[in-house]
Structure formats: C-alpha cells, structure tokens
Chain A
Amino acid sequence: MTIAHVVFYLLAAFTVTAAIFVVLAKNIVHCAIALVFAFFGVAGLYVLLDAEFLAAAQVLLYVGGITILLLFAIMLTSLISARGVRIMNEQVGSSALVVIIIFSLMTFASLRGIVFVGPPPPPAYVTASLGRLLMTTYVLPFEAVSILLLAAMVGAIILARREREKD
C-alpha cells in the first residue's frame, strides 16, 4: 500500500462524491461548485498518471473557462429562488435501470481480456513530446480544431445577441 494507492483512493472517492453532488443537488449553483471539485479530482488523477500538462490544461480550460461560462449562464437564466421545483423528470426509474445495465456491461467488457501487467517506466519529457506530436503528426487536427473554435465563438456571439430593434 504505497502512497500512490492512498492518493488514488482519496482522489477517486473525492471525484465520485463530487459527481454525485452534481447530479443530485437541488440548487444549480451548488451543482456548478461540485462540478469544479470533480474537475479538480480528475486533474489530480491525471497527475498520478504522469500527464502533468494535461492536468494543467484540464484545470485551465474546464475550471477557468467552462465553469465560468456555466456560472454566467446560470446567473442569466435561472429562477433560483423558486422553491419546490422538481429537479428530476419522470424518467428516473427507467434511466436508473438503463444506467445500471450499461455500467455492468461496460465494466465486464473493459475488465475482461486485459493482461494485468505493471505499467512501463514513466516517460521522460512528456510535454515536449506532446508538443512535437501536435506539430508534426497531428498538425491537421490541430488546425481544424482552431477553425472549429473560431466558428463556435462567432456562432455563440450571434446566438446570444439581443435582437436589435430597427427603427
């Protein structure tokens, strides 16, 4: 039971608890804060997996970007003070059943046939190799994603604009 095991179990418990809060909380601002904790838990797991650049990118983009977007949207649209609003629709029973079936199928499929050998030694210079890969082998998806981001930005601005009244 090394320190890696202890840290893994702590982070896993933390992330799963935060995820359960996201799905079950009544007040949607509490959901967003629990989502921030879930993102941090997953970033910690990335650090355990020697993916430090990805952990920093996860915190930067998810916590610093998407969470703020979500909080702005919540503040602009929600009637938070309305009490007694149901949070779950009428599909709770059937979707719980479907989720449990899919969870067992996925666990069974992913654990079967895996040869349980230990991990290879950790790589050196992960960030530099990632950069090199992004600029050589994967430069086409990289440029395509940048165009996608531009399109998404323009689209979001147009969709969210108030209608100007022509007079």
Chain B
Amino acid sequence: MEKLLERFYGAFAALGVPSVVPQITLMVAVAIAMTLFISVSVMFMIWWERKISAHIQVRYGPMRVGGWHGWAQSIADGIKLLIKEDIIPAGADKFVFALAPIVVFAAAFAAYVIIPFGPNLIVRDLNIGVLFYISISSLTVVGIIMAGWSSNNKYSVLGALRSAAQAVSYEVPLVVSILGVIMMVGSLSMVKIVEAQQGMWFIIPQFVGFLIYLTAAIAECNRLPFDIPEAESELVAGFHVEYSGMRFAIFFLAEYANMFMVSAIATTLFLGGWRGPLLPPWLWFLIKTYFLIFIMMWLRWTLARLRVDQLMNLGWKYLLPLAFLNMGITGLVLVLRG
C-alpha cells in the first residue's frame, strides 16, 4: 500500500503540481470508496433483514425480484424511494427539515474513518480512535431532535424527545464498558487495540463489558427492543413520520450504517478485529461484523419492545452500576497484577 502511495505522489510531482493536489485527490477518492462500501453494505443488510425476519416468522420473504431469493429487492426499494414526491409539511421549518437527515447521516458516515478493515486497511489510524467514534456518535441525537422539532407534528416531537433521552442515557454505559477494554490495552488507537488481542480476544476477560456494550449499542441504534422512538405501531413512526422519499431513505441508510459501525467497533474491541487463522484479514473482519449484525437482527424479531420508562430504568439503574462495577474490577485486577 505504501509503494502505491509513493508512485501516486511521484506521478503528480513529476507533472509539477504542488503536493496539495494529490492529497486532496486521495481524500476525495477514499471518501467515494467509503460511500460505495456503505451503500452496498446497507443494501445487503436490508435484504438480509427481510430474509431473516421472514424465516423467523416461518415464511419466505422476497423471492421474485431478480430471480434467486429476491436479491435485487433492495435496489428496487431504492429506486422506488428515489422517484417519490418530495413532500415538506406546511408550517415546517424548511431549512432545519432539510438539514436533519444530512446531519444524522453525516454522523453515521464520519465515524467510518477509524474502522480497521485489515492490518493496513484503515482510513486513518487516529491516536484517539475510540474517543472519536464516541464523540461523533453523539451528533446523531442533535439530528434527531432537529428532525422531530422541524416537522411541526406532535408525534414527531414526542418521538424526538424520547429518542434523545434514550440515546443520551445509553451513551454513558456504552462509554464505561469500552473503558474496561481501554484500560487493558493502554491506548485509544484502534490498530493497537487489535494488536493487543494477540493471545486472547477481549471478550473472555471482558464478557460483562461485551454484554453491556451490545445492549447499549442496540439502544443507540434505536433498534428493537429499544425501538420506542420509531415505534411503528405506537408513535406512528416517531421522529421521521413526515419524511418521505429520498429524505426517508437517508434516515434509513443512516440507521443501517450505524448498525454496521457499532458492530465493527464491537468486533475490534472484543472479538479480535481482523485476527483469524486461514482466511484473509478483511474477510474475517466482515464475517465477525456481520455475525454481530445477525444477532442484532435476531433480537429484533424475537423480543418485545420495552416501554419508555422500563427503558430508562434499565439504562440508569441496571446497566450503569454494572458497567462501573466492571470497570472497577478490571482496574483492580490490572493494579494487583502489576
């Protein structure tokens, strides 16, 4: 990878342009590649979710579009959403209404900078990798509040407020459960975390941390069983009820991109990242990530939805003390081991 970069820069230097130009070209190319990866991945996940939900409910799911088991169903859905009419409700705040899906998607997309797909396949190995993800994921809440408020609709506002309360409440156990792993590694950089799992994946000493992280992550993505902000049968789809067509597609894309992101972080922190015996590293990474996504989808179609007060109870009264206990015990063991 380094030799490719050197030849790339050398070609531009031979033409006499300043080094700003290849740097910016490289940034644009990487951003486009990441967008393509996210789009393909999200389309696959949408089809997969429909198939998994179908088989759990003893039916077949999409079977016709494109031949084999309806694999082109997501493409058809995407085209349908693109050609729908763009409706902005009367009395809505147009600027904020248009900006909200972009903010939510930008938050989900910007965190892909630090995902380590392989030993040299990371966009930028920041020194503060995990902290960067935590900061950027708190931007989603601002987008959701903007969406709910600007729709000029009671259900939207209620959904947005509930979602903001839920996201903020579950961010704290999320961060504290990650701290256990960080203490064992001693660095925030994603590559160093994967390299520190050489002997044993961190899921074994940090099993409680892994469970807390998974629960808090499902709550952060607004997935069932923590689905109150978008509850289709309760709040008429919550904060995105007034969004249709391409804007709704961006929200949908952001939710699935968020799911992938959260599973990728769990893979890196707890399941050993790209480590594995025979297959190439990036394939192991994708297998582990999609395995966690499968578990999230499985939980969605099996468990009942929590009420909003049960949700807040769970976050503050059970997960948070447990996460602190986990962090305390990890610290104690590390200090005693010397």
- Residues in A lying within 8 Å of B, measured CB to CB: 2-3, 6, 27, 29-30, 33, 36, 52-53, 56-57, 59-60, 63-65, 67-68, 71-72, 75, 126-127
Contacts and interface: CB of A to CB of B under 8 A. Distances in A.
Given A30-B95, A127-B128, A60 B134 contact: yes
A1 B198 CA distance: 44
Interface string B119-133: 000000011100110
Contact of A59 (B138, B145, B146, B168): B138
Contacts of A33: 96, 99, 146
A67 B142 contact: yes
A36 B138 contact: no
B161 interface: yes
B136 interface: yes
A116 to B, nearest CB: 25
Contacts of A65: 138
A56 B135 CA distance: 6
A53 B131 CA distance: 8
Interface residues of B, number: 29
Given A59-B135, A71-B142, A53 B168 contact: no
29 contacts: A29-B93, A29-B146, A29-B149, A29-B150, A33-B96, A36-B142, A52-B127, A53-B128, A53-B131, A56-B131, A56-B135, A57-B135, A59-B135, A59-B139, A60-B131, A60-B134, A63-B139, A64-B138, A64-B171, A65-B138, A68-B141, A68-B164, A68-B168, A71-B149, A71-B164, A72-B164, A75-B157, A126-B127, A127-B128
A36 B107 CA distance: 13
B138 A127 contact: no
B315 to A, nearest CB: 16
A80 to B, nearest CB: 9
A21 B304 CA distance: 45
A71 B99 CA distance: 16
- Chain B: interface secondary structure? helix
Nearest to B138: A64
Contact of A52 (B96, B128, B157): B128
B188 interface: yes
B279 interface: no
A76 B10 CA distance: 58
Contacts of A53: 127-128, 131
Contacts of A75: 145, 149, 157, 161
Contact of B93 (A3, A6, A27, A72): A27
A64 B23 CA distance: 31
Nearest to B136: A59
Nearest to A58: B135
Contact of B20 (A3, A64, A68): A3
A123 to B, nearest CB: 12
A63 B132 contact: no
Contacts of A52: 126-128
A62 B93 CA distance: 24
Nearest to B175: A60
Please give me the 8 A-B residue pairs with the lowest Cβ-Cβ distance, nearest first. A64-B138, A59-B135, A60-B135, A56-B131, A56-B135, A3-B20, A71-B145, A52-B128
Given A60-B135, A64-B135, A64-B171, A3 B96 contact: no
B190 to A, nearest CB: 14
Q: Which of B93, B99, B126, B139 has the most CB of A within 10 A?
A: B139
Nearest to A59: B135
